[in-house]
Every structure is written in structure tokens, then in C-alpha cells.
Amino acid sequence: MKGEILNGVKLNKHFHDVEHFHVLKDVSISIDHGEFVTIIGKSGSGKSTLLYLLSTLDTDYEGEISIHGTKVTGLSQNELAAFRNEHIGFIFQFHFLLPEFTALENVMMPALKLGKYDRKEIEDRAMQKLRQMDMHSFAHKISAKLSGGQQQRVAIARALVNDPVIIMADEPTGNLDTANSDIVFGIFKRLAEAGNTIIAVTHDPDFAAGADRTIELIDGHIAT
């Protein structure tokens, strides 16, 4: 499917902690269906802040954001939570798995919350996503017993279980060694080649180079 899936218009973000800081300055961004986009920039440039605005996790901003035909700016927190769970898959630098649950149980959780399928179908879908990550043989292993690279692959499977329209990732290889970073990068490439829309913040130049397009932020502006 072609055409725009995400649009952000004149996004401004201010922090008022110790002193005022204007971190994003009139940023406008458009992402197409099936596009793999990386966002790069020095620390403090605003790249992670931009991702959190686009993902609807941060609603304290000026401007307007639309995702998949829905204007998300102005929606209530409950409406945004429901929208995120159904339409956005999140992958962070840290996996955020529940350590006392198995890999399979962790992957099933977003689908159980969505309530779109019965439990058996959710389990089948979760196993399918684990198989996609080559983690199906670890499905019934407690997540705390998995290695860091394995945990991140389970987290990716969890992000995919509801078949989101956009996958958003914040430094997905930031906590991984070179070998596991290469594995995760390969997963992202396969997801992109399969037509998934991906927006990823990264410090890794090799990861960024594998995307369809790279957006660089400099001092709160998109570099031209």
C-alpha cells in the first residue's frame, strides 16, 4: 500500500525543568506506508523526543499529528492508549519484558489487552511471531533466563503481535553487542522488505544506512 501513513505538522516541544529549552522547532515530517525511516542526530538534538511525540506517548507539544487517517492530537489518554495498542508496535533500547513470565506470555500480552481474538488464536499468533524471530524454541522459558539478545527478539515479537500499522523503535540495538545488533538489524531489514512501516531512532550509522531514508535532527530542526 502506498500513500502517507503518518504526518506531523509544525511540531514544537518545550522543556521547563531547570530552565526553558526549546527542543523541537517547527518540525514537519511525513512517512509513507511501507517506508523504513531512521532518525539520527547528536545527543540532545531531539530525535528521541520526536519519536515520543509521533508515538503519542508524549502529548505535551504544539502542532498536529495524524496516523493512519486519525488525527491523534487532542485525543484523551484512554483513546490514545487504545490507539497505540492496536496500531503502533514499540521496541525500546531496553526490552521491558516481565521477568517472571515466559517469552510466549510476554508476547501475548498486547493481544490479550486488545481483546480482538480468543486466547487460542492469540497464542497461535504469538508463536508465529516468535517463530519469525527464531525464538519459538524458547517460548516457554522464563524471560529473565534469556540472554539480552534473546530478550530483545522477544520484545520485537511482542511489538508485532497485533500487526501494527507502524513499528517505532528507540535505539533498538543500543544495549546489544555487535553480534546481537547484527541479528536485530537483519530482523528490521526483513520486516521492511515485507512492507512494514518502521520509524527508528539510532546512533548506529550502519543501522541507519540500511533504511530507505534517514532524517537527521540538528538542534531541534530537520537538516536539509
pLDDT in tens, the chain (224 residues): 569 999 999 999 998 877 888 999 999 999 999 999 999 998 888 899 999 999 999 999 999 999 999 999 999 999 999 899 889 998 887 778 899 999 999 999 999 988 888 999 999 999 999 998 889 999 999 999 999 889 989 999 999 999 899 999 998 888 888 888 888 888 888 888 888 899 999 988 888 998 999 999 998 899 86
**Residue 55: which of 95, 89, 9 has the closest Cα?**
89
**Domain containing residue 100:** 4-222
Which residues, in sequence order, are CB contacts of 121 under 8 Å at separation 6+? none
Q: 103-114 vs 77-87: helix axis angle to the nearest 10?
A: 130
What type of residue sits at position 16?
Answer: H
- Confidence (pLDDT) at 173: 82
Phi and psi based region of residue 220 (left: phi greater than 0; alpha: psi -120 to 50; beta: remaining): left
**Residue 166: which of 54, 58, 64 has the closest Cα?**
54
In whole angstroms, give the CA distance from residue 80 to residue 97: 22
Place of cell 517469552: 103
- Confidence (pLDDT) at 1: 52
Domain of 86: which CATH number? 3.40.50.300
Domain count, the chain: 1
In whole angstroms, give the CA distance from residue 52 to residue 35: 19
Taking the CA atoms of residue 81, residue 83, residue 87 and residue 92 in that order, the dihedral angle to the nearest 10 degrees is -20
